[in-house]
């Protein structure tokens, strides 16, 4: 079966760095997405990786290793507004997105 695993919840301190991991087992791979979802709101796109390596976008970076079925989202200089759930999703061979359950990130002052 297809499976996306990410931690349920993480806590970090304002100004610090946090890494959210995602491991996947899917039938085929056509890219990995990270979305941010604030409580009660819609998911919004953060990043897309299809090749191995690190993609940097401001305070957020996303890494992919296809051979290991592994990705992480790195958030630097954490701000209170970064408190949200972070969703990992993999596009399988049929171009369907398989979603993880999300990681709730709690930022403390």
Partner 1 sequence: NAGVTQTPKFRVLKTGQSMTLLCAQDMNHEYMYWYRQDPGMGLRLIYYSASEGTTDKGEVPNGYNVSRLKKQNFLLGLESAAPSQTSVYFCASSANPENTEAFFGQGTRLTVV
The full DSSP string for the chain is: --EEE--SEEEEETTS-EEEEEEEE-SS-S-EEEEEE-TTS--EEEEEE-SSEEEEETTEEEEEETTTTEEEEEE-S--GGG-EEEEEEEE-TTS-EEE---EEEEEE-
Is 7 a binding residue for partner 1 by CB under 8 A? The answer is: no
Restricting to residues 38-97, name those near partner 1 by CB under 8 A: 40-45, 48, 50, 87, 89, 91, 95-97
Which residue number, 44 or 79, has a Cβ lying nearer to partner 1? Answer: 44
Which residue number, 36 or 78, has a Cβ lying nearer to partner 1? Answer: 36
Is 9 a binding residue for partner 1 by CB under 8 A? The answer is: no
**CB of 102 vs partner 1, minimal distance in Å:** 7
Contacts with partner 1, residue ranges (CB under 8 A): 4, 8, 30-31, 33, 40-45, 48, 50, 87, 89, 91, 95-102
């Amino acid at each position: 079966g297809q499976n996306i695993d990410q931690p349920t919840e993480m806590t970090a301190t304002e100004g610090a760095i946090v890494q959210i991991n995602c491991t996947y087992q899917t039938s085929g791979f056509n890219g990995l997405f990270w979305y941010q979802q604030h409580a009660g709101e819609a998911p919004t796109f953060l990043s897309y990786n299809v090749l191995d390596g690190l993609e940097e976008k401001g305070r957020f970076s996303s890494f992919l290793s296809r051979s290991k079925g592994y990705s992480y989202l790195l958030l630097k200089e954490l701000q209170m507004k970064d408190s949200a759930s972070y969703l990992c999703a993999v596009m399988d061979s049929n171009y369907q997105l398989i979603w993880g359950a999300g990681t709730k990130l709690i930022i403390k002052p």
